[in-house]
Chains A and B, each alone.
Chain A
C-alpha cells in the first residue's frame, strides 16, 4: 500500500521570505514523487518530480524539492515567495510496482505582500 501525508492544511508566508510545504510518504518499494499546483477552478499543473538520482530536484517557477529517504519526506521549497505563488499544492506518490498514484489532501499556500 502507498500513502502520502501533507501535515499542514495551510501555510502562510510573507512575500520575499522562503517557503516550505511539507510532504511525507509511505511505499513498499521505491517511490516516485511529484508536486502539483492548482489555482482556483483549474486543473492541476505539474511542478516537479523525483524519480532517481540527485536528491534535490528543481522544477518550474523557481520551486525545488528535496527527497529524504531516511525521513520519507519530499518537501517543496522556494527561496523567495511571490504573491502569485498563492495556490493549493498537492504532493503525490507512486510505488514502482503500483498502477496508480496517490495524492495528498493538499496544502493551501498564502503569500502576503
Chain B
C-alpha cells in the first residue's frame, strides 16, 4: 500500500537523551514535513524539505534536527536541547507546488520520563 510510515508509535525519552523518529514514504513525493501537535492544540511546523539534501526550519525548529539523504526518508531527531518534547509528532509529504495535498502519517507519541 502507498503511504507514509512513522515509527515507533510510542517512544519514551529520558532526560538528556536524544531520540530519533522515523518517517518513510513510498508516494514518490518531493516534499516532506514534520509537525508537532500538543494535546488539544493545532499543528506547528518543525522542519520541511522540498528536495533531497535540502531542508528549512519551520516555526519551532529549536531543539530538533533533521536529515534528507533519500527522497523517501525524513527522520526527526529530538535533542536534549528540546526542554518540553512531550507531544504527538506528525510526518507528512506532498508533491511540490501550492495546490498539492499534504498526506500525513499516523503519528508518533513522544513522552519524557
Interface residues on B, range: 20 to 34
B104 near A43 (CB under 8 angstroms)?
yes
Among residues of B, the one whose C-beta sits closest to the C-beta of A108 is B40
A99 near B56 (CB under 8 angstroms)?
yes
Please tell me which stretch of B11-19, B43-51, B74-82 contacts chain A, meaning at least 4 of its Cβ atoms lie within 8 angstroms of it. Answer: B43-51
In the complex where A94-B98, A106-B41 touch, is A100 in contact with B104 (Cβ < 8 A)? no
- Of A41, A51, A92, A100, which contacts B107 at CB under 8 A? A41
Q: Identify the interface centre among A34, A43, A44, A104: most chain B CB within 10 Å of its CB.
A: A43
B107 near A90 (CB under 8 angstroms)?
no
* Residue B2 at the chain A interface, CB threshold 8 Å: no
Interface residues on A, range: 20 to 34
- Of A97, A101, A104, A105, which contacts B102 at CB under 8 A? A101
Cα of A97 to Cα of B98 in the assembled complex, Å:
8
A100 near B58 (CB under 8 angstroms)?
yes
